Amino acid sequence: MQKQHQTQNSNEESKAIKRSVIAMYSSVDDEADTNELNENSSKPQHHQTVDSALEMFENTNAKNVSEVEKNTRLKQKEESAKKKEQDKINLEKQKVKKAERKEKEKQRTQKKERGR
């Protein structure tokens, strides 16, 4: 129950961070578009290319953040699946050991009865 609550909190925090990053980049894009419209006519071609490169870098950075989050979620899913499988194996081992102990106890009880 506590793990679920922690996971929910981390998911909410992750979503909040993602929203703030997206909002930040969208406001930067809006400002860049406005500035670009005002300054394009007065800028030489070289400066326009630099601005285009900066704009592309900003979009790439947002994509990188998204990719990192996606990879993190994927890794967590894989780890969770691996842990679930390991827990399943451990449970089976415990069941086998319990059955073996029960069988040994049964054999001891039978030996005691024969010895009487």
Question: What is the model's pTM?
Answer: 0.40
Helices (H) and strands (E) in the chain, counts: 2, 0
Q: What is the mean pLDDT of the chain?
A: 79
Q: What pLDDT is recorded for position 9?
A: 73
Residue 69 dihedral angles phi and psi, to the nearest 5°: -65, -40
CA nearest neighbour of 28 among 56, 69, 64: 56
- Mean pLDDT of the 95-110 span: 94
pLDDT at 92 over 90: yes
Three-class SS of residue 43? coil
The domains of the chain are located at 2-115
Rounded CA separation 87/79 (Å) = 12
